[in-house]
Structure formats: C-alpha cells, structure tokens
Structure 1
Amino acid sequence: MSISGSAAPGGGLRLAPFRALRYVPERVGSLAAVTSPPYDVVVRPEGQRHLETADPHNVVRLILPSAEPPDGRHLKAASTLSQWQKDGVLALDPSPALYVYEQRDGGHLQRGLIGALRLTPPEERVVLPHEDVMPGPVADRAALMRATAANLEPLLLSYRGGEGPAGRIVEHTVQDAPLLATTTEDGIRHRLWAITDDDAIAAVRDDLSHHQALIADGHHRWATYLRLQAEQNGPSPWDYGLVLLVDTARYPLRVRAIHRVLPQLPVAQALEAARKAFRVRELPHALPQALAALEDAAAEGNAFVLSGDNGFHLLDRPDPDLTALTVPHDRPEAWRRLDATVLHSLLLDRVWEVPDGPEHIQYIHDTEAAVAHAERLGGTAVLIHPVRESVVHELARQGVTMPRKSTSFGPKPASGLVLRSLEPDGTPA
C-alpha cells in the first residue's frame, strides 16, 4: 500500500459534498479582508491584532477568539458565529457540493478539492499522519469545534491521482466562472468553484476510493476530528471533517521549514551552551546570506542558524558521540538524522534544557517573522532547513511520525473562504 495510487484499505478516501458556509460578499468589506492564515500560522499577538482590525468580521475572531476570562473564548466564538449567520454575514450555499479551490502564488499553481472527508481509524491507514501532536492544541481545537459545531478551516491533504477522473473533473470545472475570486495581502490569488453535478461527484468519489492521503498540514485538527468522532454515540456529522485534497502528481506542494523561537533564552546564552555540541560560526548580517549558508551546511549534515541579537550564527557538525547518546535509537535512521530530531533531542532537551511548553518554545512559519519576533522578545530564533518531501512520504509509509512541527507544506488554504457547519443543514449529503 502506498500513497502513489494503489488501492487503499477500508474503501480508501470518501469525500462527500456538503453545503458550505461562506461569507456573503455584499456584507463584508472584501473577501480578502475576512480571510486569515490557519490558526497555527498566525503570529500572536501582532498578526492576530492586524487581522482583527482588517475587518470586524475577519475569521480570526472564530479560529483564535479572544475573551476575558480565557475560558470564555470558545463560547465567544460560538456566539460570534451564530450572530454572523443571523446578520447574513455568513450563509449556507443552496446545494451540497464539492468545491474546487485554486491558489496562485507567483508562478506556483495549486488546485484541489474541498469536501467533507469520512473519518477512518488510524489502523486502516487511509489518512497517514507524518508528525506527532501535542495534547494542548488538540484539547483547545476540540473545545472550539464543540462550542461552534463547525469545522472552521480545512486541513491540507495530499494524494497522487495522476490521470484519474477526479483530476480531469477539476480541470474541466475551472473552465467555468468561479463562485469567488480574491487576492489576499500576501499576493496569493484564490478562486473557488462548486461541483454539484451528481455524475461528476460520483466519479470523484469512485476515483478517490482507490487512494490514501498524507496529512500535509493540520495534524492537530485531524486528531481533533477523531477525538470528537469518538465522543458520539452513533453515526453523526462528526464522522466527517473538512479537508482540501490536492493531487500532488498534478500540483506538487512546496515544503518549507517551521522555525522555533525561544523567548526566554538569549542568543548569547544559547551560543555559549551550543559550543559544547556544535561548531559555531558567525555569519554575515543579512538573512538571505544566512539562509544560503544554512542550505550549504544542511547538505552535509544537521545545521541550524541562530538569530535574535541582530546577527546570525551557524551551528553545524554536531558532536557524533553526544548525538548518538541523546537521539533515541528506536526509530529508522532517516528519522534519527532529521534536523528536528537532533534539534529537540540534542539542543533543546540536553544542551539548552528548554522545557517543552508554549511559553518556552514558539513555532513560526515565516523566517523574517521568526527573526523579528525573537529580537522583540530578547530571545533566540532557531532557523531550520526544510526536509525533503520524499523523506516525509517514506517515513509516513513506514508508520513513523516525525517530530511535531517538522515541515510546512503549502500553500495552505486560506481560512475563511469555506467553512462547514455540523448543524443539520450543513451535513454531508
């Protein structure tokens, strides 16, 4: 069994149409102004405040609600969602549909299908995770989904369909006028179409039933879907979860790194301790040159760039004996060589003794934002080189999960363009 197109167990992927909950363009300033990056990509608090002020109806008020006391956040999101529906800001589409979603980022084009995916037990290996999850974010997302009775943003899944019927239907659909088109402030252009034809939906369903998928982005939300499904007493809308499914045989995803910011560890202290385990060199004071040096060093072995003191410092050539002593031996060699593995096992746990909690380790996708955030906090940004996609796929096939936040596949779907209500009118057809 593989994600390259062979038949998957348990009937493979089952993508159902649903009535999307979408913004009514006439009731908001612009569709771009109400969108947000996924909840775990928003840089807090600066990025969250920026989105909240972009439009009073920005979806960040649902996916990252603010409230005092904090325990009221999820109820506030539920109240906001309900009020927006009453006010006609959000409305259900008239008919169940699968949705073709397109993103253009410069010369990069990505198209996929948004639908309600039937959840399957992990042992059936229809949907393959590649990263571990943390209990805190899963509990938080579960509380939010319970309160709102909604999937507020789609996961990103990849599969390899090639010349199958689903891909042909996607290409045929985009010849028509889209339901919506907008360009977000990051320059990415978004378009959305609805597939409502029963024959087309049936052809997509039959095609996908022969495939399995890799979770490209959204491991915590997938774990949340499974937790909430397990809480039900029988068949229910919670048996499905909102996903964007991209055929990477047609539209390869980009793989980027997720950087760490250690707000309570000053760079000078981090460098002094790191010299016990790594070669440390100062780099030119420019981010592009620092990243180029990281790329060269990562081709030879584990390497990281530290920043936060208005400079850049390269860590490479880790001590092999200390690495062997600290990295667990119960995983494949490819896992043991991962930068994220060495970072957490050797640097964070052993050398720096940084506790594994959100107040000590923050995960930021954007490189410039990570550096700026560390400088504001007086902490350390640890910049990582992206892992190869082939390594991710191979470990997933073996059932081996990578350290959490090891990769960032994209472009990620914009939150706010398609929501799924779990109330009766929004359930899969």
Structure 2
Amino acid sequence: MAVVKPFCGLRPAPELASRVASLPYDVMDSDEARALVKTNPYSFLRVTKSEVDLPPEIDIHSPRVYEKAKDNLAEFIAQGILRQDSEPCFYVYKQKMGHHVQIGLVAAVSAEEYEHNIIRKHELTRPDKEQDRVDHIRATGAQTGPVFLTYKATDTVSGLIDQAMAEPPAYDFMTEDGISHTLYLVADRALCSRIEAAFQQVDVLYIADGHHRSAAAARVRESLRKSNPGHNGQEEYNRFLAVIFPHDMMQIMDYNRAVTDLAGRSPEGFLTEISRKFIVELKAGGGAYKPSAAHTLGMYLGGCWYKLTAKPNSFDPDDPVGALDVSILQRNLLAPLLAIKDPRTDKRIHFVGGIRGMKELERLVDSGRYAVAFSLYPTSIQELMAIADAGEIMPPKSTWFEPKLRDAMVIHLI
C-alpha cells in the first residue's frame, strides 16, 4: 500500500506566493538564477540555489552555500514571507499549461517505502548530485523541492481530490511562462483520513522526476534514525515531500540530443553507416521532422532533416528498456558510430528538452557548435511504469516532464 500523510506545510504568504515560488534548482545554472534573483529578492532560489547571494566564484558545493541556504530560509520565516500551517494538511496542486491540466496531491510519503520499492525508481543517481541534496536537507532542516510521483489512476482518489477543490484556493497565479499554478488546502480531518485510506488501496507509487531528492531524503532519514535514541518512526524525517499525480494526467515530452562531431566521418559516410540499422529518408519539402510514432527518429544534419526508421532487427520488442527509442538511438548509432559510450559523462553530447522545440536543434547545428541533432518520440508513462515494475533502469535523459513543479508552493520541515 502507499502511505501518504498530511503535514504542517511551510508556505508563502498568499500575497507573495507568485514571487516566492521558483523553478526547480536543477533546471538552470547559477548565472541564470542570479539574474532572476536580481529582479525578485523574494525568489525561493535564494534558498534552493543560495550561491546567488555569495561571490560568483564560489564552489556551489561549498559548506558556505548550504549555510547560506539555512540563513536565507530562516530570514524568509522571520520576515513572514513563509508561514507554517498550524495543523497537518494535505494540499492539492493544479497546473495548467495550454490545454494540458494536471492535478496532484501534495503529501509526505514514506522513506521506508522508497527503500522497499513501494515507491519505484527507473533511473540511477549520481553520487555528487545525491550528496548535494543530502547536504541541503541537513543544513536547512527542510525538503524544499517536491519529488514528482505518479500512480495508476483510481476513481476513488480522483473523487476525493475533486472534493478537496470545492473550497476557494489558497493561491492562484500565472507565471511568466504562461503556466497557471493553483493550490488548495485540505484541512478537513475527515477528508484527510479518506484520502489516506484511498491511497492504502494504491499498490505502488512511481518516481517520475526527483530520484536524487528521494534518495537523499532516505539517506537523511537513516542518519537521523541512527542518531536518535528515541526514534519511533513517526518523526517528520521519516517522510519526504512529494506531489502525486494520476498517470493519465502526466505529460511527457521528447528529450532530444545534439552531438558536437561525427567522430571523424564525412556526412556522406555517416549516412551510409546509419542505413545499416535505420531506413533513412530525406524529408521532402523542408521543415523539421518531429517523430509521430515510436521507433522513428528525426535527424538534422548539414541543413537537412531526415526521418530514421529503426529496422526490425535493430532492437528487441520484448525488452522494455531496449525497445525505448532512446535505447535504439544509443545502441545503434550514438555508441557504435559516434563513440558516445556513456551519455551520462560524455561532454560531446547535449540534451535538449522538447519544450524548446525543433528550432533549438536547428539552431545548435547551424551555429557550428554541433554537427548533428536527433529528435525522438516521447517515452510513454506506460513504458516508464513497466520498466520500474521490472526493476530495470532507463537510459539517462529518457523523459522530460512538463509543466515543471514550482518549488516553495509547500515546504516540508523535518
């Protein structure tokens, strides 16, 4: 069963919510964050990317950065920018991006269930990124950004979420990217109990985004458990902050690739070698090729777009990982032809979220900094869940979820 708990959330004063809420720490670099904070001193980036308030040359993993995050969080609380609810609540977070709407439950979920694979994973974590989140949680005493979870939708949970949205929202604002963010409080104890009971009928939860945050929360929990002689399992550090969406509301976009060179090959020779594993078609009539079906890819090379269709013998359709388009591209082209053996560490490959569109791939190649770019068909939520259920690991950068959750809508203190 999935354990979800209400908690006393720390959140912005209503009149400041739109200014405090910020994009996640890992979707921008320090210079971009500094520019945003310069025009908005209320931005929660001052906590999640606290190097913005320190000299530009500082190492972002310096103890001073985590100490500054702690100080800035305390300052936000002291000034009333952030306030803690006096009673445990659930929260409902609704986002609207164009025609797409997603509605999730903000809750504290079990670190123990994460360790026992009731909260299922599909990606490996990097030790440095995981340690960064451990240090941030320990310094601030808070989980400042939520883990993005999903579950197989149920009518019972959906009905309860609808009830929770019957009251006026606590926040309702639109960010500069045109995405609306609405937050509802669920303070009614009876409704909270029904929500808890409904999730006990949900077998598993799946991490959509936030593997480093969840892994870090589990590590912090284990450390605090060992150092607390009175540990009873009910402490807030046993749980971590999550927003939980039904699978049928998830929007996964393509996650595309650009590569700096052709590994010594000419464009003509490259096309010849690709044809061993793919049917190669020059796109007639100009314009980008955005794949409309699985096992087809777009390629932008030398100012032209090509459609690449994976030949049947190039992958195993019964292998849930191997049949992913990102795997087909990696195993049949990037590794053998472009010598990109480990896309996690190779500096010659660049990943481009689908939100940036095909024009971004063209721009990168036309600039001369990249030789070739590939557009992919998005991984489906069903593929993600099947891989997690099988205990398998997806290739890096397989999924790009939109819209992004804003940090500081609700914060979980441990």
Instruction: State the TM-score bracket (shorter-chain normalisation).
Output: 0.7 to 0.9
1:219 Cα deviation (Å)?
1.9
What SS is found at the alignment partner of 1:120?
helix
**Paired letter, 1:305:** M
Distance, in Å, in 1 between the alignment partners of 2:411 and 2:265 is 45
* Residue 357, structure 1, aligned to residue 345, structure 2: yes
Identity of matched residues, %: 24
How big is each residue's C-alpha offset from its partner over 1:109-128, in whole Å with a ceiling of 9 and x where there is no partner?
22121011112355633112
1:129 Cα deviation (Å)?
1.6
Partner residue in 2 for 1:39: 25
**Paired letter, 1:174:** M
Partner residue in 2 for 1:65: 50
What SS is found at the alignment partner of 1:231?
helix
Q: Residues 263 and 338 of structure 2 are in contact (CA less than 8 Å); yes or no, is this contact kept in structure 1?
A: no
Picking from 184, 187, 199, the partner of 1:196 is 187
Partner residue in 2 for 1:257: 254
Partner residue in 2 for 1:275: 271
What SS is found at the alignment partner of 2:395?
coil
1:352 Cα deviation (Å)?
2.1
Q: Residues 296 and 376 of structure 2 are in contact (CA less than 8 Å); yes or no, is this contact kept in structure 1?
A: no
Q: Which runs of 5+ in 1 are unaligned?
A: 1-11, 423-429
Partner residue in 1 for 2:118: 126
Partner residue in 2 for 1:167: 158
Partner residue in 2 for 1:107: 99
Q: Residues 270 and 352 of structure 1 are in contact (CA less than 8 Å); yes or no, is this contact kept in structure 2?
A: no
Pairs within 5 Å for 1:12-411: 12-26=1-15, 28=16, 31-42=17-28, 44=29, 47-66=32-51, 67=54, 68-70=57-59, 71=62, 72-121=64-113, 124-164=116-156, 166-211=157-202, 212-232=204-224, 233=226, 234=231, 235=233, 236-248=235-247, 251-262=248-259, 265=261, 274-275=270-271, 277-279=273-275, 289-292=287-290, 294-295=291-292, 298-299=293-294, 301-306=295-300, 311=303, 313-314=305-306, 316-317=308-309, 333-354=319-340, 356-357=344-345, 359-365=347-353, 366-368=355-357, 370-371=360-361, 372=363, 378-379=369-370, 381-411=373-403
Q: Which runs of 5+ in 2 are unaligned?
A: none
Distance, in Å, in 2 between the alignment partners of 1:32 and 1:83 is 18
**Paired letter, 2:236:** P
Distance, in Å, in 2 between the alignment partners of 1:109 and 1:334 is 28
1:319 Cα deviation (Å)?
7.6
Judge which range, 48-57 or 209-218, deviates more: 48-57
Q: Residues 14 and 118 of structure 1 are in contact (CA less than 8 Å); yes or no, is this contact kept in structure 2?
A: yes
1:49 Cα deviation (Å)?
4.5
1:98 Cα deviation (Å)?
0.4
Distance, in Å, in 2 between the alignment partners of 1:137 and 1:158 is 22
Q: Residues 105 and 188 of structure 1 are in contact (CA less than 8 Å); yes or no, is this contact kept in structure 2?
A: yes
Distance, in Å, in 2 between the alignment partners of 1:415 and 1:154 is 7
Partner residue in 2 for 1:5: none
How big is each residue's C-alpha offset from its partner over 1:370-405, in whole Å with a ceiling of 9 and x where there is no partner?
535676782355432202332222222222221122
How big is each residue's C-alpha offset from its partner over 1:72-99, in whole Å with a ceiling of 9 and x where there is no partner?
3323222222222222222212322100
What SS is found at the alignment partner of 1:333?
coil
Distance 1:285 1:414, change over 3 A: farther
**Paired letter, 1:196:** A
Distance, in Å, in 2 between the alignment partners of 1:397 and 1:160 is 12
Q: Cα RMSD between the aligned structures?
A: 3.2
Give the TM-score normalised by the residue count of structure 2: 0.81
Give the TM-score normalised by the residue count of structure 1: 0.79
Distance 1:123 1:93, change over 3 A: closer
1:204 Cα deviation (Å)?
0.9
Q: Residues 306 and 312 of structure 1 are in contact (CA less than 8 Å); yes or no, is this contact kept in structure 2?
A: yes
Task: Tell me the matched-pair count.
Answer: 389
